[in-house]
Structure 1
Amino acid sequence: MSINKDFNKGNKISTNRLNTKFKKIKKVEKKKSTKSVIKMIIYIILFFIIIGFILLIVIYNKYLKGLSIEELKNYQIAETSIFYDRNGKELYKYYVENRTYVDYEKISKNIVNGLVAGEDQRYWENPGVDIVGLVRAGFRAIAGGERISGTSTITQQLIRNTIIQKKSNESLTEGIDRKIKEIFLSYQLTKSLSKEKILELYLNKIEFGHNTFGIEEASKKFFNKSAKDANIFEGSVLASLPKGPSYYSPYNHQDRLVGYLILDDEKADEEGKKDTKKLVSPEEVNSQKELVNSLKNKISNLKGKGVSDDSDKYVICNVDKTSLATKEFDVDEKGCTVLTYSRLFNFISDIKVKSGDKSLAYFPGRKDYILQRMLEDKYITFDDYKKAVIEGFGYKFNVVKEKIVAPHFVFYVREYLEKKYGKDSISMGGLKIYTTLDLDLQNKAQEIVSKQVKSNTSKFNAKNSALVSIDNKTGGILAMVGSNDYYSDDGKGQVNVITSKLQPGSSFKPFVYSIAMQKNQIGTKTPVYDLEMTFPGNYKPKNFDGRFMGKINISTALNHSRNIPAIKMFYMTSGVKEIVDFMHKLGADSLTMDENYGASLALGT
């Protein structure tokens, strides 16, 4: 018998009535529960509002009280820093006065657009702070533990260059303090001034390198024209420099700034090595005219268009599939490929042209990033982009001759100090910087280099030379001549040969000798033969004078820089690894095992 039947017979209570009662009870409980949840949510919201309000009061009183953008009106330009030699003789003034202030209307749109695209994409819409960028960086930091960086707007950078100074070694607390003030003042400045005025102040304030401050002087120095006349290529270069005036120097690091051509010679030399060269200067680029013109044509023939206004995809057509060095890009039967704007860099550098055993490709620089961003933000067309990329091939920057005492040395010291203490501390700190240089010895060193170059030019057509003199007791640099003429017309004189990575040549021989002598217990009077020989790999080295001295001792072989004995010393060591390890102990870290050195390492080649 079912339970329902018992209820119906015995107690005459209907099942429907029981169900009705149950439903009423359940409904009352739900109402009470809902009211409690709503009250709790309201209390939580009120709690956070009160806490937030209290925090705002604390932050305002601790960090923001008394801060005002009025300081910009009375802002004083920092003092000049002066470099001296060891005896107090002045070498160089590093100052912030070399500027000509220009109004916003006298600054080319190409410069403005390049700067905004590269430094602050949402500049025209943001309230002085890139909230979207900050949130995105915050999520990246939480998800991957990355350090939050690269979120400063142009307005924040202006504040940092005027009212608030960033310390090179600031603590986390100091960094937070500065950032809060920076954000507050940037917001205030954006409310008080137009976006155009803020850009005007910024571009007239910042440094562009080589004693040049403000956009007008920078444009005149590097391009010999006013800032209002800068074209797209020039605008992209000038917009690149605020990121690192020394690192992207048009004179010292043109390859980093505008990119460079890579020439590969597939034909191996006697030791099986293939030759790869960077082509940067006009002379280097013009030496490979056929290949350069071929690469220019490949790039010029490309057609490009965006997929849509809100898409990050870009379509490039007229692509010669056979000219792509890798299979990274899918090219359809119509010669088109779809890629993101951020991969445009990779695509251009993937184009390679060949002629015989030689091939040529392009490696982009900082200005190419600016151009890519300008294209993405619709400031320029694809034809503009291509033209500006090609314009950088072998570009010759304008050179203004400024007589600086010991220029290679002072710029070497300056770059070192900027890395250690921050650029602003050196350029605006009013410092007196005493160096190890002896100006009298420096002048003598310059005379020696100039005299030697004349001799080398007539004998070997070698038109450059360098010299460095170091105090063996302290390691201090007494004299540094980085090239024969820092102010040479071709601009190559500004390259510091001393700090460039070059083959050491015969100066490397003593290190190989020392290992061989220690390992084999031989001395300076041990006999060695300087005779024509064939070494493994059919390697037949010769001496610089084309002669052989026969039986000599080790001392004579080293003093006369004989190549055959040096190669013999190489084979008396355990080989390349032992030599490289030994050099690492001496601090020569640029030697690596992956360079495929052979016996010629003993000759410093």
Structure 2
Amino acid sequence: MEITHTKRKKNLRNKIIRDVFFVIVSVGIIGVALLTGWIATLNLPDFNNFENRDISNSTKIYDRTGKIVLYNIHDNVRRTEIPFEEISPYIRQATISIEDAHFYEHNGFRPTSFVRAMLANLQSGGFSQGGSTIDQQVIKNALLTRDKTITRKLKEIILSLKLDAQVPKDTILQMYLNESPYGGTLYGVEEASASFFNKHAKDVTLPEAAYLAALPQAPTYYSPYGKHRDMLDKRKNLVLQRMQELGYITELEKVAAQNEVVNFDTDVSNSGKALHFVMYIREYLEEKYGADAVQNSGLKVITTIDYPLQKQLEDIVKEGALLNEKKFKAENAALIAIDPRSGQILSMVGSRDFFDKEIDGQYNITTALRQPGSSFKPIVYAAAFRSGYTPETILFDVPTQFSTRCDAYGNPKAGASKDSCYMPDNYDGLFRGPIALRDALAQSLNVPAVKLLYLTGLSNVVKLAQEMGLSTINDPSRYGLSLVLGGGEITLLELTNAYGVFANNGIYSKPQGIIEVRDNSGDLLEKFSPVQTEVLSETVTSLVSSVLSDNTAKIPAYGSNSPLFFGDRPVASKTGTTNDYRDVWVIGYTPSVVVGMWGGNNDNTPIDKKVAGLVLAPIWHKALAAAVATSSIEYFPEPVPNTSVKPILRGEYCAGDGIHEILRYVIKDNPDGEYPLNPENDSQYDLWETGLQNWLAKHSLPCNNIPVSNPIISTTTSSQ
């Protein structure tokens, strides 16, 4: 009986166990089924082509070496993807040590870490512990929201398992290091390394790598520029401790790295370099590729900027402009340097200081329209030389009325007003009498220049200006004879580049700022190719360069110690000052570089009444000297001998019938051709002749056929 009772108890116990087991299994099956069904209803992100998904990358603008980053263009995210092998082993090891020590062992999810984090969160009543593997963090950063919910966490785990099954571990780590936040707009170790240490991610040291690994957990809190730098140092030391425990480094290496002082780049603004030029390039890129592509697709742009030279010239411009503000009330200056053989922009300084709000420093004067004053004259002289006039051609620098609506004495004719008269002065108020074109241009005399524009033809000058790249000088009907004195508006960039035609023996090169552009995969999108056109013959440009580099001819206007002179080095140059003293210019060149400068005030207020040779030439001299500092002395081609038949084109102004203006001896369009049959029919003939004969009546002029400089008559000041 006792045995039977025992059996019954045992059978009952077994039945209970079976029933409980059945219930547990049933509940488990139902639970799994319900969980599976719930998972099936989850809206999981698309995992296809995960490795090839588009992520935002910064466009980088470099100097001409491709090594110095001038600027990062980004839409709230500064990031540069790099391959696994370009990430320092120190960074990889440090990151694994602090973020996921078993990264290469698990399958994307570690239940023990997850449970440990959940228990910690239950105790704290929040989500302070993540327990996420690197795989999970990649998924969280790339595909999911930042919400801290059970649903999102479950999605994260499922996708992490899929990621680990489909993608190699090294690639997952590469993704993490390319996408992790490092503070502000910085994402990825390449951008962080460049910003903090001014180096590539492959070149960082062990302690630098430890700092980088310490940041992503809380980049704002641990910012090296914030108030918790001491906490960042502690976390860096923890990273090194973990690296030593995992066998990545030795005890000695750990101690040395913990004690090493690491300096973070103090330029926390990361505002960029050569910013006027950068914005000029950005405008071009956005016009060609679209703003979204420029901000997010990670273009690599190699520009033409010579950054060491750029930095020198920025300093020269700033120092000179600050001095000019005190001396001449000219608070701003701008500069362009161009290689005339290619059109490549070597330097662009748009103001004395990009960040100076008081002078509107971000406004790029190099691309702004300003009146050039007499710096436009070489264009007119080049057109004249192309037409057959010579540097020895004699014009008379005497008071001359040019408006046919007024008489030779400046009195308006019937129906005309006084304003319609036009009788220009020279910069110093003096007149020289007979003068060769060489001396007239070298000394920047106005009356001969206006006469030469008339002789050459306004339409011919405008046509040449267009051919030389002066896009705003495009309609002869908009201008009068004052064009030669700077009556049109031109940009410093275009006028400086136009002088490059003289430097490059008549070949125009379109100004360009880009050497190459590549996409984020390294594929070439565009490559520099010179855009060139023959505009003038070398015969003509050699004459222009000969005159503009003739220091002896310049002495009467600039003195013997002018900053326009460079000793044994031939340098051609021209100044310009507007009549209202709002703009001063100096542009000069050697065969290999053209440097143009502007000075004045952005608000168009006039400077003190001083000419460009005094205000701007000293700064320009320093700039051009810096540009040619490493170059050997170069020489311009020698001009061909003057073989003109007519005496007036050879420098002789006396003829058998007395002394007369050039209109008596030449047909404007063909000066070395036939003599005009009825020169008095020219609308300017009587005006010029009357002015000359009035001058001769007051001055004794020997008929020795030698061009003279004879400053006699004084009036008012004009432009130089």
Q: Which has the higher helix share?
A: 1
TM over 0.5: no
**TM-score interval, normalised by the smaller of the two chains:** 0.3 to 0.5
TM-score by length of 2: 0.34
Q: Which has the larger radius of gyration?
A: 2
